[in-house]
Amino acid sequence: MRTVTLDVRSLSDTLSDFATAWKSGRASSPRISFASPTLLFKVLTGKRWELLNVLTGVGPVTIREAARRARRDVKAVHGDVCALLRAGILAKTRDRKIVFPFDALRVDFVLKAA
């Protein structure tokens, strides 16, 4: 099962992990990092989470089909798809369909005392 992890971490931590993976020659598991919890939750809203839920395991679909499956307005889904594409959570196929290219999504972060 191919799982993508969304997490909150600094750029230096992300680059350090990249350097380690590069030196070892082994690919790390898919990960999309955000600089802050605020940014993560700005990108991964409730409606976008629901959209990802209906797209998981479906394969490439049009935005209209995604909206139909989510039972939402096409224009609103289009806006959410654009945000998820910019974040790298969704991808576009050559025939301009959208796809969630993972089998699962994991959100991983720790809330620490100030």
pLDDT tens digit sequence for 9-37: 888 887 887 787 788 877 778 889 998 88
pLDDT value, residue 94: 96
User: What is the CB neighbour count within 10 angstroms for residue 4?
Assistant: 18
pLDDT value, residue 101: 93
Contacts of 36 (CB under 8 A, 6+ apart): 8
- 3, 104 contact by CB (below 8 A): yes
pLDDT value, residue 12: 83
E strands, the chain, in order: 3-8, 31-34, 91-92, 98-99, 104-108
pLDDT value, residue 76: 96
Structure tokens at 66: 């995604």
pLDDT value, residue 20: 79
- Delimit the domains of the chain by residue range: 3-108
pLDDT value, residue 60: 97
Distance CA 82, CA 90 (A): 9
Of 1.10.10.10, 2.60.40.10, 2.60.40.1190, 3.40.50.300, which CATH number belongs to 3-108?
Answer: 1.10.10.10
* Intervals of the chain under pLDDT 70: 114
Instruction: State the pTM of this model.
Output: 0.84
Amino acid residing at 33 = S
Distance CA 114, CA 97 (A): 43
